[in-house]
Structure 1
Amino acid sequence: MSLPRVVFVDRATIPPHIHLPGLPFEHQWVSYDQTSPAQLLERVRDAAVIITNKVVLSAEILSQLPELRLIAVAATGVNNVDIEYCRAHDIAVTNVQGYATRSVPEHVIGMIFALRRHLMAYHHDIARGEWQQRQQFCFFTHPIGDVAGSTLGIIGRGSLGQATAELARAVGMQVIFAEHKGAAVCREGLLPFEMVLRQADVISLHCPLTTQTHHLLGADELSMMKANAILINTGRGGLVDETALVDALRSGTIAAAGVDVFTQEPADDQNPLVANIELPNLLLTPHIAWGSDSAIQQLVGRLMDNIAAFHQGQKQDRVV
């Protein structure tokens, strides 16, 4: 009897210096840095376990995998897996949660400070020779604001939203949480969605991307925000209408935006945000808010634990 095949289809989503723990049972291990849709079926045809971060596992693919017993997602989001097919065909799915509750909040707070104090804009001014042309020890081409004393509005009250709130309070910010958009009644501790948009000096998104939250913030919602407000998106790209965001930044509807996630990833030159990366009030990073070394090491440890637990007949971090 052949050993079960465990296939990691996108190992390059984990930095090479991060140690990947072994599994406590005999198996065949196969790892690919990247897997294209055209390569996927051949690579996972006989797999008992598939590890994926972002590779899409559709019903069409899953229906051709008779040996498959477990999909171990190396992330929190499982929108790349056809969950309903897995549920109907007894394929287990696990994910990993709570590993980035330091990494993401630090990224959010870092973006807030960078944008409120215009750090990148001053950096680029120096690179363009602005300082060299002046006759004093400093110059002020962009307003510099304090973060302490401002109000952070958080959309999403899960573990990442709560951890971001804790860190924000530590640097002197007031924190308010938004109720679901369009909700008739607010739950305890939450304020109406539109009220949060109007009151907050900074909005930070920490909610999942669903059909209900797609373009949660468009032109209308951005127009409700303060003119000096900052938007931070480390959630999912589709939460924000990217074209509307660029328009808001150019028109002064809002003051600045820090974006770590994009509608399509990797984002190409046609993406509205990438195409306008020269804007001094726009800060872009390549979906790395989650990715401190300590966070990723926690992720892979839990990932492999989930596979070991499944092999032992235990349910751990099960989505299905």
Structure 2
Amino acid sequence: MATQALQVVFLDRDTISPETIIRPFSFDHELTVYDRTSIEQVAGRIANADIVITNKVPLRREALAGATRLKMIAVAATGTDNIDLATCAEKNVVVSNIRGYAVNTVPEHTFALIFALRRSIVAYRESVKEGRWQQSQQFCYFDYPIKDLAGSTLGIIGEGVLGQSVATIGRALGMRVLFAARKGGQKQGSLYTPFEQFLEQSDVITLHCPLNEQTRDLIGDAEFALMKRKPLLINTARGGLVNDDALVRAMRSGQLGGAGFDVTTPEPAPDDHPLVQLLDLPNFILTPHVAWASQEAIQGLADQLIDNIDAFHQGQPRNVVGARK
């Protein structure tokens, strides 16, 4: 007797570049693709799905309750803070994510922000655009600070594959690298620097950790006050890691040498978002969550997404997040 085709629903195809090739699954299926899905539409769209693909669409308890056929959620990203993992465990739904695909693209974007800020690239470009070079009447001018990275201290929060890749680049540039110990915890061996000491010693601080209840608002007013060296702060991880209002105060008061953010909460950032209001500063850069989005990385993500789903269908789920009952 022929088996019934599995119903696969992709909730937000527009979050993957249209140039990316998404190859077919290896099993009999019916695929329904939505460009984007609002929170109000989730429950209806996943009601009869066996497998759901989502990048950023939240899958919460209320929507999952009616998805009686659901067997797998394939997250087209590494972060799973948009998935109710506890409910998935209760319902014995496998959740798989993408791993390792951003090992080049995120560190490269991180250093693009660091270089741009450390050498005031954006500020000088804008000043040339406004005619400052011609007005200076000489071959160069010194309106904005320029500092080398060699000999400076790079502080990394998060020692996973991305943090380690950033460390490798930093060392190649002649930077001293520190990994932060857990905030409020004891020193975790010789490889980690106590959190407060880490903040005091770093010339550049970059975030590569997940967002959870332990890391939400990881950096706020108290932490900025400890940053004696007026470092650059780089965030290509999650917006909720840094308190937005505290960041505004730190930038406006000169506690930071600059900041480069690729993430906000929510996304996209509304016009009145605190970080959008900082765009008048020459030492603040905001990019639209594209650190992950090199063409090579997105294709690798899409390939791994299909591999995860095929492996699940073959009874060998991989990249599983959380635990089933």
Q: What is the TM-score with the length of structure 2 in the denominator? A: 0.96
Between 1:223-232 and 1:299-308, the stretch displaced more is 223-232
Determine the structure 1 residue equivalent to 2:311: 309
Contact 1:226 1:254 in 2 (8 A): no
TM-fit CA distance, 1:96:
0.7
1:292 corresponds to 2:294: yes
Determine the structure 2 residue equivalent to 1:103: 105
The secondary structure found in structure 2 opposite 1:131 is: helix
Aligned residue pair count: 320
The secondary structure found in structure 1 opposite 2:199 is: helix
Cα distance in 2 for residues equivalent to 1:37 and 1:219 = 33
Contact 1:201 1:226 in 2 (8 A): no
Determine the structure 1 residue equivalent to 2:52: 50
Aligned-pair Cα RMSD in Å:
1.1
Determine the structure 1 residue equivalent to 2:38: 36
Determine the structure 2 residue equivalent to 1:248: 250
Determine the structure 2 residue equivalent to 1:274: 276
Determine the structure 1 residue equivalent to 2:267: 265
Cα distance in 2 for residues equivalent to 1:185 and 1:224 = 18
Determine the structure 2 residue equivalent to 1:172: 174
Between 1:40-49 and 1:107-116, the stretch displaced more is 40-49
Determine the structure 1 residue equivalent to 2:211: 209
Cα distance in 2 for residues equivalent to 1:219 and 1:129 = 37
Q: What is the TM-score with the length of structure 1 in the denominator? A: 0.97
Determine the structure 2 residue equivalent to 1:69: 71
TM-fit CA distance, 1:148:
1.2
Paired AA for residue 222 in structure 1: F
The percentage of aligned residue pairs carrying the same residue is 50
Paired AA for residue 79 in structure 1: D
Cα distance in 2 for residues equivalent to 1:197 and 1:185 = 14
Determine the structure 1 residue equivalent to 2:285: 283
4+ residue runs over 3 A deviation: none
CA distances 1:160-190 after superposition (whole Å, capped 9, x unpaired) = 1001101111122110101000112323310
**Please, which runs of 5 or more residues in structure 2 have no aligned partner?**
none
- Give matches, 1:13-28, under 5 Å: 13-28=15-30
Determine the structure 1 residue equivalent to 2:189: 187
Cα distance in 2 for residues equivalent to 1:275 and 1:35 = 28
- CA separation of 1:300 and 1:248: change in aligned 2, threshold 3 A: same
Contact 1:117 1:146 in 2 (8 A): yes
Cα distance in 2 for residues equivalent to 1:273 and 1:132 = 32
TM-fit CA distance, 1:274:
0.5
TM-fit CA distance, 1:2:
4.2
TM-fit CA distance, 1:227:
4.1
TM-fit CA distance, 1:132:
2.2
- CA separation of 1:151 and 1:22: change in aligned 2, threshold 3 A: same
**Please, which runs of 5 or more residues in structure 1 have no aligned partner?**
none
1:157 corresponds to 2:159: yes
